[in-house]
């Protein structure tokens, strides 16, 4: 099956004309607006909450209004809807004020005083590791501590001729979806409807029902078009939906929470700040005999999904390399900071920045051509993974690297003169892979999950899935796959935004798994429907979600194949550094990816361009202080049209047999390699290593001063 033609998306026309209704554009009768009253301190015990008398029709909603449990049931660790008598970060929700007039609600919220007995706060991951403040979680502030290893790492280090160590640090990265968080809870008889901008309708339904102590079926989640998400609309909507639900049931009216940009920046999830130490042991011939990686994430006041984000990042921490022995340890630390969470790349941007920066610095130290040096350790098909699994399918890493080198004319550019008056030029590269989806235990049966197809009376076929189009074009890609499997025109295939009353539970949409895994399940469903297409009337078929047959994963031991499939990629970046201002500008970006079979090249290019520019922001611009002072779009700078160079991207075809028509994923990978490639280019231009993100003028000036 060749997917040679780009398909027009069904949502473009309404999005252009402004006719698309996001949840914030919908007004319900008698709807109340709710504003969140938040902790003014980083850490303390709530002694008293002073609330003024509420005018008629206005109310407050807090911990005492939660019918069942003050816990987002999606998470393993404590994650309350409202502060449970104590607060753990500035901005933690304490209560809501709700009422008919938004301006009045905001004024009332400002008059509420939260009186706290302060406790010494833990400000950073270094303070959390040091442990000289009262612990916030357990007795050591560690949400999770896990290690993956093979071979005799300590033995290799004890006999090493050279040990090379680097330490990289990265900060928060904010998703900065253009549509801020918004949800509306609507009481309806003995049921409750949640109208939401979420990446996981069924997961959201469960969280709200569990908090209410209701059967899940009594809650209905209606999905609206998402104004961007990038991982930022998995976790936060749980909190907003629960809070709005408590208020809606108390007031018996629809209640809406819509975040201002300031609230969204201060209190929603972000990429975890990190510190990664990488040590390599080399023998007397200069070959790496062991790699030891120590990852620490700053994981905020409550754990949320840090366990999964860290775990995924760790499994990717040895990069595209197979070393004779390796060990990766990771810890996620509790601190009194806003809660980080899922963000495009899911732990990998931090660990790939660390390993690629280490390998590039090591090559420079040994005066070796970096790509040639790195290719000594390339993973090849049949190699074992960090977790003792196997790279089952062809590894297109050499092809991807050669293609990126070709399209960027890398070797010629490397030889260019670096200095040109006050401007210095440099070129850099980074190699990466991206495993997805993450594996579920294969020794026990998976919970039953389904994808469905419904043939309507008029012959159109509707995809019954809760998977979310958050702008990435997923519904178009899935429609295209189903159209191919049914040999029908794509115009006859429909995919609506989800309504949990109408579509079965499958999964949250994220982790780059939708096309590669659920696309395949839709092919299964299509194979059931195809012989029955000529039958009259409505026909509904379902296919159960199953993992591919090659997979072996023991979740308890952390052994086996951690991911179903791997995307391979290479990024080349060219920069100019102004030695007067230490401002870095990117003058060229080239990226080559193996995404298996390309289902729609125009959509894939959109994912690549967008991911690369988010990676560019991560590398150079996006900086957020951990003390929550970064609260506006004029403080938190994302790339504009003037900050982005031409991006040239190409694909290498390396079909993945278990994927739908050989497709892998594309959502997250393009972001991952950009920051290390830009850092390498800056290092090439300036002759100093770059170990921080973002590469601010201040940091670069410091590095230059240190080296001179």
Partner 1 sequence: MTRTISFNLNGAPVKADAAHETRLVDLLRNNFGLTGIKEGCGEGECGACMILLNGFPALSCIMAAGAVEGQQVTTIEGLRSSPGFDILAQAFNDAGAVQCGYCTPGMIVIAYALLRDDPAPDEQTIRSAMAGNLCRCTGYAMIVEAVTLAAKRRGEAW
Question: Residues, the chain, total?
Answer: 708
- Cis amide leading into 44 (omega within 30): no
* Number of C-beta neighbours around residue 585 at 10 A: 14
Strand, coil or helix: 502: coil
Minimum CB separation from partner 1 for residue 601, in Å? 9
Minimum CB separation from partner 1 for residue 634, in Å? 5
Minimum CB separation from partner 1 for residue 21, in Å? 7
CB 418 within 8 A of CB 424: yes
Query: What's the number of CA atoms in the CB half-sphere (13 Å) around residue 697?
Result: 10
* Conformation bin of residue 300: beta by default, left when phi > 0, alpha when psi is -120 to 50: left
Give the DSSP letter of residue 517.
Answer: I
Question: For residues 550-584, b (16+ Cβ closer than 10 Å) or e, as one string?
Answer: ebbbbeeebebbbbbbbbbbbbbbbbbbebeebeb
Specify the residue, 430 or 603, whose C-beta has the smaller distance to partner 1.
603
Chain centroid to CA 656: how far? 23
658 Cβ neighbours under 8 A, 6+ residues apart = 520, 548, 549, 550, 564, 565
Phi, psi of 571 (to 5 degrees): -125, 135
Specify the residue, 15 or 449, whose C-beta has the smaller distance to partner 1.
15
Dihedral angle sign, alpha carbons of residues 206, 208, 214, 216: negative
Chain centroid to CA 219: how far? 27
Burial, 307: exposed, middle or buried (Cβ in 10 Å; 0-12, 13-18, 19+)? middle
Minimum CB separation from partner 1 for residue 695, in Å? 19
Specify the residue, 25 or 167, whose C-beta has the smaller distance to partner 1.
25
Contacts with partner 1, residue ranges (CB under 8 A): 6, 8-9, 11-22, 24-25, 103, 175-180, 225-230, 260-262, 470-473, 602-603, 605-606, 608-614, 632-634, 638-642, 644, 646-647
Minimum CB separation from partner 1 for residue 469, in Å? 9
Specify the residue, 11 or 399, whose C-beta has the smaller distance to partner 1.
11
Phi, psi of 596 (to 5 degrees): 75, -140
Helices 236-251 and 201-212 pack at an angle, to 10 degrees, of 50
Structure tokens at 507: 């999964």
CA distance 558 to 553: 7
Strand, coil or helix: 249: helix
CB 678 within 8 A of CB 360: no
Specify the residue, 185 or 612, whose C-beta has the smaller distance to partner 1.
612
Specify the residue, 260 or 442, whose C-beta has the smaller distance to partner 1.
260
Minimum CB separation from partner 1 for residue 516, in Å? 20
- Bridge partners of 33, per DSSP, are 99, 256
Specify the residue, 18 or 537, whose C-beta has the smaller distance to partner 1.
18
Minimum CB separation from partner 1 for residue 232, in Å? 10
Minimum CB separation from partner 1 for residue 265, in Å? 10
Minimum CB separation from partner 1 for residue 402, in Å? 24
Task: Of 647, 650, 407, 667, give the one whose Cα is nearest residue 514.
Answer: 667
Minimum CB separation from partner 1 for residue 618, in Å? 12
Specify the residue, 43 or 270, whose C-beta has the smaller distance to partner 1.
270
Minimum CB separation from partner 1 for residue 413, in Å? 21
Specify the residue, 175 or 392, whose C-beta has the smaller distance to partner 1.
175
Query: What's the number of CA atoms in the CB half-sphere (13 Å) around residue 660?
Result: 29
Specify the residue, 196 or 523, whose C-beta has the smaller distance to partner 1.
196
Give the DSSP letter of residue 580.
Answer: T
Specify the residue, 177 or 391, whose C-beta has the smaller distance to partner 1.
177
Specify the residue, 139 or 634, whose C-beta has the smaller distance to partner 1.
634
Minimum CB separation from partner 1 for residue 603, in Å? 7
């Amino acid at each position: 099956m060749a997917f040679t033609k780009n398909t027009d998306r069904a949502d473009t026309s309404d999005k252009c004309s402004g006719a698309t209704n996001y949840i914030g554009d919908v007004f319900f009768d008698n709807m109340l607006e709710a504003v969140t009253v938040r902790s003014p301190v980083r850490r303390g015990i709530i002694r008293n909450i002073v609330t003024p008398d509420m005018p008629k029709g206005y109310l407050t909603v807090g911990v005492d209004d939660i019918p069942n449990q003050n816990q987002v049931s999606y998470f393993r660790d404590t994650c309350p809807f409202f502060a449970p008598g104590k607060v753990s970060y500035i901005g933690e929700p304490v209560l809501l004020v709700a009422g008919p007039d938004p301006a009045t609600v905001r004024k009332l919220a400002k008059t509420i005083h939260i009186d706290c007995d302060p406790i010494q706060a833990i400000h950073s991951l270094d303070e959390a590791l040091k442990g000289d403040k009262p612990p916030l979680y357990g007795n050591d502030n560690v949400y999770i501590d896990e290690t993956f290893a093979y071979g005799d790492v300590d033995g290799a280090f004890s006999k090493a001729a050279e040990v090379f160590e680097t330490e990289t640090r990265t900060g928060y990265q904010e998703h900065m979806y253009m549509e801020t968080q918004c949800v509306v809870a609507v009481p309806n008889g003995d049921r409750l409807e949640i109208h939401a901008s979420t990446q996981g309708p069924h997961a959201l339904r469960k969280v709200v029902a569990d908090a209410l102590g209701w059967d899940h079926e009594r809650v209905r989640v209606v999905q609206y078009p998402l104004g961007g998400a990038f991982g930022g609309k998995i976790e936060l909507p749980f909190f907003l939906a629960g809070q709005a639900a408590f208020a809606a049931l108390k007031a018996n009216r629809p209640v809406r929470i819509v975040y201002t940009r300031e609230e969204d920046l201060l209190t929603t999830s972000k990429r975890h700040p990190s510190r990664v130490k990488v040590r390599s042991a080399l023998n007397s011939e200069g070959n790496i005999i062991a790699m030891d990686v120590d990852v620490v994430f700053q994981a905020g006041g409550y754990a949320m999904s840090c366990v999964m984000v860290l775990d995924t990042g760790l499994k990717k921490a040895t990069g595209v390399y197979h070393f004779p022995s390796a060990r990766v340890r990771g810890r996620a630390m509790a601190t009194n900071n806003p809660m980080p969470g899922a963000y495009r790349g899911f732990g990998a941007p931090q660990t790939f920045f660390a390993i690629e920066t280490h390998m590039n610095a090591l090559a420079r130290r040994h005066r070796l051509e970096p790509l040639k040096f790195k290719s000594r350790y390339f993973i090849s098909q049949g190699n074992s993974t960090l977790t003792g699994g196997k790279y089952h399918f062809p590894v297109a890493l050499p092809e991807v690297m050669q293609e990126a080198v070709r399209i960027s004319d890398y070797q010629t550019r490397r030889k260019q003169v670096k200095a040109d008056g006050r401007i210095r030029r440099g070129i850099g590269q980074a190699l990466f892979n991206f495993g997805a989806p993450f594996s579920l235990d294969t020794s026990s049966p998976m919970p039953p999950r389904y994808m469905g197809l419904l043939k309507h009376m008029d012959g159109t076929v509707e995809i019954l899935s809760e998977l979310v189009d958050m702008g990435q074009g997923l519904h178009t890609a899935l429609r295209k796959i189903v159209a191919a499997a049914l040999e029908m025109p794509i115009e006859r295939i429909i995919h609506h935004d989800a309504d949990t009353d109408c579509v079965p539970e499958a999964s949250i949409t994220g982790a780059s798994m939708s096309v590669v895994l659920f696309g395949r399940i839709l092919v299964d469903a299509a194979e059931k429907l195809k012989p029955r297409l000529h039958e009259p009337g409505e026909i509904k078929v379902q296919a159960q979600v199953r993992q591919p047959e090659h997979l072996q994963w023991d979740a308890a031991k952390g052994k086996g194949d951690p991911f179903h499939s791997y995307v391979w990629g290479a990024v080349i970046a060219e920069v100019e550094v102004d030695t007067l201002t230490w401002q870095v500008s990117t003058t060229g970006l080239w990226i080559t990816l193996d995404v298996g079979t390309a289902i729609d090249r125009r959509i894939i290019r959109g994912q690549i361009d967008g991911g690369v520019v988010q990676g560019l922001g991560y590398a150079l611009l996006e900086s957020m202080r951990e003390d929550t002072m970064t609260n506006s779009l004029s403080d938190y700078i994302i790339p504009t049209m003037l900050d982005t160079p031409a991006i040239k991207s190409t694909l290498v075809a390396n079909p993945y047999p278990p994927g739908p028509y050989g497709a892998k994923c594309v959502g997250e990978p393009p972001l991952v390699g950009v920051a290390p490639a830009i850092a390498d280019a800056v290092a090439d231009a300036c002759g100093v290593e770059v170990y921080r993100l973002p590469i601010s003028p201040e940091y670069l000036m410091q590095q230059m001063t240190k080296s001179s």
